[in-house]
Structure 1
Amino acid sequence: MATAAATTAIALLTTAGALTAPAKATAATSAPAAACGEGSYQAEAVLNGNTWTARRGSTTVYTGTDLRSAVQAAVNSLTAGRTTKERVVVRGSGTMSAGSRISLPSYTTLDVCGTINVTGSGSGDQAPIYSRGTRDVEVQHLNVTGTPLYGVFMRNVQNVILGQIDMRLSRGLGIRIDNRGDTSQWTRNVRIDNVYVSGASSHAVETYGVDGITIGTVTARNVGESGLLLNQTINATVTKVDAENAGTGTGYAAFRMANRNGRVGSGYPTNIRVGEVIARGGGRGVFCVSESGGATIDRVTISNTGNNSVLIENCYNVNLAAQSGSVTGGGEIRLAARSEFPNNRDITIQNLTVTNSAIRESPCGENTSFPNNRLINSSQSIC
């Protein structure tokens, strides 16, 4: 991905007719990521007063008052049939309906320097940022408020990058990336750098049917369901999930794996790697269910969850707190099983300081272990 991104950046800088934003007076000696709107681009949508203008070079492709129409016109003005990314920069904030979408075709980079406020209601898979059956799509910056069905919706895609994403919502699901249009094909090669979601009525980030995803940080605040939910996803690396009040009053979790997540072929080699999960309040802290596994979570800090701090149910090859962790208050750490799936197998719960809680295994799993846990005012019932 890094090589592809670098190649794209070079291509953008050398593309004939590419536009360049004005340089700042003082350049930073080293910046981890470009500020929104900096660098070369092929088209832009700019708000001046109440009027949006979309341009490709010297050609104006839209003038009017509608954010969505302006951005879509700028996107549609990019080179037809292109095989390298071209970039659209949006400068300004505006409103669009929850029943509409900005659709990104293949080889498109979008940088939104402003806020998209979503109003009203809609149905289906509408989202301010939408892409389906595409490849090489990138969203560098995005701020969304309001009531979307989804903030970002991507289906059956390849080579996707989501950079700095901020969603302060009052409804909906933050980011959904899946393969549910054609489940015979995985969605592949996804990168999410940093996403903040508050107020969603569903999950902050959800995947289904993804092979190969790298996630930096997911920060979830007061979302109705999970902070990060991985369904039937393999080869995933996550640096951090930081959730506060995710799934309050529900069985959802700060970090949830479900629907054979981590299952490669018929086995569960370690392929889901999570650096850190932080869960404060909410429903559960970590939840693995429905024949998922192949997961190592290095560090956990879980406190005062309303439901189980940790629930491992019909999962295989899960290593919780491989490095360190703490569970304070809230519900117990529970290993459980439903009769319709094979029992837990190869589960390790270790290196935890458990305070005012409990560890309980029922029924007994196969090859479960609980080494190096320190219990403070907490009970343990294991096999």
Structure 2
Amino acid sequence: MARLSLLTALSLLASLVSAQCGGTADATVDGSSGAYTATAGSTELYSGASYLAAIQAAIDGITTGQTVAVLADGSIGDATITIDSGKTFEGCGTIDVGYNAGHGAIEVLNAADVSIPTLTLTGAPYFGLRFYGVTGLSLGDITMNLSGGIGIRFDRDEAANVDVSMGTISVTGASSHAVETWNIDGLTIDSVVARDCGECGLLLQNTRNAQVGLVDGDNVGGTSGYATLRFANTNGLLADGSYDTNVYIDRVVSSGGGRGIFCVSESGGAEIGNINLSNNGNNAILIENCYNLAILAGTVTGGGEVRLAARAEFANNRDVSLSLEVNGNTVREEPCGENSNIVITGDAAVTIC
């Protein structure tokens, strides 16, 4: 009887979650291949064969503060969906996407207060989601089962971004990064879960005032030199030129693939609470020209060495603190950094200054 009650409760919960997606939408996209409709209340916005046209008509047919729910599955082909300010986009169905060079399958550009609480993408896009110049962007639970491309991208050479939040971002099969950020001030992420991705799980660049829960990578980075978690290109550098701690990562889990953690190119100002790295290729951890980085606890098992290094074109490492158990591996600091505080237990061969 208890088992039946539990199964019944789970079934009701699943039904409730399903009903919630699109349940309060102001416009919906429904139908199936070759026959899609977009409606807002009693008004028909689109009827025809194009899934893309139906979605864009629904977005364009609502105003600030309103919600579009895409209930239907379909393919937008090698095209882009554009969401403008103040709108909520619920992807209740599965949206298959193609390759639109230099563009995202879904884009939010120079816009404020856009929300995408749920979304499932498949396909091989150039970028799954592309952003720049956004303020108050909210991403919820995003799932991408890809066969190529980058999952989420904030552009490098465009307008900066302020106040970005993400729930759980799950990306499988990207040929490049699962999530790549540039130029964000104010970022929160519950978790990034990357599987079988060619480059990074989470790549943070020129991003500050960030709080991330979990970064979890399995077979991420391969032999590319990238990592499950990578800080690069002055990540964590504050406007006053300091590297006071402002990037917080609760936990990093990484197995197989390429590097586990990589801090490089004048990045820092970061604290990682706990790590569990196993059998990473290249370096389990590489810290190179990084300033004020602390890894407070965790384990490294097997894989490539834990290395503190430096390139000649940047100032050497400084204020790096590691407290780790390392087994079946080596730990090496070369050259000597400034104010290093490295405490290693386990059976690793340790060569530090």
TM-score range, shorter chain: over 0.9
Name the structure 2 match of 1:86.
66
Q: How far apart are the structure 2 equivalents of 1:152 and 1:292?
A: 25
Name the structure 2 match of 1:356.
328
Question: Counterparts of 1:47-126 in structure 2 under 5 Å?
Answer: 47-48=31-32, 50-79=34-63, 82=64, 85-98=65-78, 100-119=79-98, 121-125=99-103
Contact residue 284 and residue 307 of structure 1 kept, 8 A: yes
Q: How far apart are the structure 1 equivalents of 2:126 and 2:177?
A: 11
CA drift of 1:94 comes to: 0.3
Runs of 4+ in 1 over 4 A off after TM superposition: 33-36
2:166 maps to a residue whose letter is: I
Name the structure 2 match of 1:163.
140
1:368 maps to a residue whose letter is: S
CA drift of 1:375 comes to: 2.3
Q: CA RMSD in A?
A: 1.6
Q: 1:339 aligns to what SS in structure 2?
A: coil
TM-score, normalised relative to structure 2 = 0.93
Contact residue 45 and residue 55 of structure 1 kept, 8 A: yes
Q: Give the alignment partner of residue 199 of structure 1, picking from 173, 178, 184.
A: 173
Q: How far apart are the structure 2 equivalents of 1:122 and 1:27?
A: 40
Q: 2:214 aligns to what SS in structure 1?
A: strand
CA drift of 1:154 comes to: 0.9
Name the structure 2 match of 1:232.
206
Q: How far apart are the structure 1 equivalents of 2:18 and 2:122?
A: 23
CA drift of 1:177 comes to: 2.2
Q: How far apart are the structure 2 equivalents of 1:206 and 1:90?
A: 26
Q: 1:248 aligns to what SS in structure 2?
A: coil
Which of 283-292 and 42-51 deviates more?
42-51
**1:146 maps onto 2:123 in alignment:** yes
Q: 1:144 aligns to what SS in structure 2?
A: strand
1:256–1:35 CA distance, 2 compared to 1 (3 A): farther
> Residue deviations 1:3-54, cap 9 Å, x none?
xxxxxxxxxxxxxxxxxxxxxxx986xx9x8855244221111115641100
1:234 maps to a residue whose letter is: R
- Work out the number of aligned pairs and report it: 340
Contact residue 178 and residue 187 of structure 1 kept, 8 A: no
Q: How far apart are the structure 1 equivalents of 2:137 and 2:212?
A: 16
**1:299 maps onto 2:274 in alignment:** yes
Contact residue 191 and residue 215 of structure 1 kept, 8 A: yes
**1:222 maps onto 2:196 in alignment:** yes
Name the structure 2 match of 1:173.
150
Q: How far apart are the structure 2 equivalents of 1:179 and 1:70?
A: 31
CA drift of 1:122 comes to: 2.8
CA drift of 1:181 comes to: 1.7
Question: Counterparts of 1:209-288 in structure 2 under 5 Å?
Answer: 209-265=183-239, 266-288=241-263
Q: How far apart are the structure 2 equivalents of 1:364 and 1:172?
A: 38
CA drift of 1:58 comes to: 0.9
> Residue deviations 1:138-179, cap 9 Å, x none?
111111111111111111101011111110100100011246
Q: 1:69 aligns to what SS in structure 2?
A: helix
Question: Counterparts of 1:330-341 in structure 2 under 5 Å?
Answer: 330-341=303-314
1:122 maps to a residue whose letter is: N
Q: 1:261 aligns to what SS in structure 2?
A: coil
TM-score, normalised relative to structure 1 = 0.86
2:345 maps to a residue whose letter is: R
Q: How far apart are the structure 1 equivalents of 2:51 and 2:245?
A: 45
Q: 1:74 aligns to what SS in structure 2?
A: helix
Name the structure 1 match of 2:298.
325
**1:366 maps onto 2:338 in alignment:** yes
**1:381 maps onto 2:340 in alignment:** no
Q: Give the alignment partner of residue 161 of structure 2, picking from 169, 187, 196.
A: 187
Structure 1: stretches of 5+ with no match in the other structure:
1-25
Q: How far apart are the structure 1 equivalents of 2:105 and 2:299?
A: 39
